[in-house]
Structure 1
Amino acid sequence: MLKLAELNSAGAAQTFAAYCLSCQWPVSVVVLAADRAELYAEEAVAALVQLELSAFIEQPNDPKYSSAAWAHNQPAASTASLGLAPVWQRMRSMAGVWTQTVALLCVLVFVAQQIWPGVVYNQLKFFNPWQFQDDWLSWRWLTPALLHFGVAHLMFNLLAWWLFAGRIEIHLGTRVLLVLSLAAAVISNTAQFLLHNDQFGGLSGVAYAVMGFAWCYGWRFQSPHLRLNHADIGVALLFLVLGFADLLWVNTANWAHLAGLLTGIGLALLQKRPAASAQSV
């Protein structure tokens, strides 16, 4: 999603978003305070939303906006709203295209692993020691991040990825997340191979990278939507320490985790915060 504007009224931003949703325009609002909210829209409808926003700023009391907001806040009459559709819509609003694409790839690869376990693993695993010199220009730098060895392994990594990568993509853009995730996959996979062996897989190195990026970026710029609380980073660091101490109940790619975390922090230190300008309503 693209950030379109920062409004000086959270209520006005939510009213405008409700109208956009009634027009089938995918938008979302991040409320930072009662007098500050950020408006985001999908790139495909950004021009339409921007044009309508200009009209809204000129005439915020137009009945069409208040009517849409009232309708948006009413309980849906259809029983279909009691199912999983609202949950999925909420989840999609937390993640951009690249976040969803990586998650889908992980799920598809996991399904394929259940059908052709040996074939999929051998095609996507990191280089064998004898392959490293002969086949260095390969997808194997990246694809170990798509391999998972159990439902719990997959779900834990996807949860961390969705929560933290989604924030980064929504607030900083797809390009930032794309560069971060690809760099983290290559660096964390290589570190695990060089410092341990080639028998590993999982998105956890990349998940540590997006977590480290959000942690450092939020600390540098005091960004409320990317700042991690103490519990989040505390659990991540504790898991990392316990992994190196071999006190966990599962085998973990500890060097991939550490390399991913450091990659995320390093890229966050190089990142510039995009300028934002508030618009009055």
Structure 2
Amino acid sequence: MLDSMYQWAENQVAIMLKTAVLMHSDFPKDCRDDPFGITSHWVDQLTVRRVKQMSSHQSSTDNDDDDDDTSPAGLCIPPEQSGDGRYLLVVNECDYSPRNYFTLLHELGHYLQRTSLDLWSNLFAFDDRATAKEAEEFACNLFASKALMPDSLFAKFMAGRWTAEAAALAYKESRASRPAAVRRVALLLPKGSWLTLIDPNTDTMKIRAHANGINEYKTSPLDIELLALRKFHDTYRGNSVIVEQTFTDLSGNDLHGRYTISVALSPSSKDEPFWFIMGRRQPETAQ
């Protein structure tokens, strides 16, 4: 992701969040308690239609852990096409509520950008329509993420040292999914850092999000991540986060330098918890 687009999106989303609160002061509470409160609180501006999703996603046998929300499934239909003179937000629902919440807020992001003159004008900062559309979609995702997980949720980490506990807390204390928490926290980390979510049921990585905005999905865990998990299992005594440990130049690993790795578990309705693993590169020391 280009730094310029990310900075543009940060500025755009700040205006979007402010606009949402100015329009409806209960917006932060809805995002915290039940985002579908928007359905009744925004009734003068828009209609929300929830359509049951017919896909393999729907057939999950354990909906509490069905965390895939990488592609919001919804539509933002303008008044001239909706039939009632208001914007229509369509949420193609699955059985996993956090995905539905993210989709709803993503589509609300489209509504805000298309009805606010300032927000709409900002989209013309890009030279071509394709780039503007990409920027609009990215801003909608970031808006949904920040609406569900506001900066205040990370206050204890903003003022000090980042650990994997930030992702575990974001998931536990919000209506967001685990992958959404990973992507949200990763963008707050120092350059060269990353955050990974491990699915214990398959021993695979669901997502690895980097501080530069690049995301990887469903690949193998890094050697250094597997080592951190082993050390966590060896020392875990009921605390939610392992004391950070530093590993250097692991054999067979393509990472070089010194890293601080933290691990946090995330209980699930299945037998084994999910794992958040955060990696932060240590600054080079003078010789």
Q: Comparing both structures, which one devotes a greater share of its residues to strand? A: 2
Give TM-score, length-normalised by structure 2: 0.24
The structure in which a higher percent of residues are helix is: 1
TM-score (norm 1): 0.25
Q: Rg bigger for which structure?
A: 1
Higher relative contact order (CA 8 A, sep 6+): 1
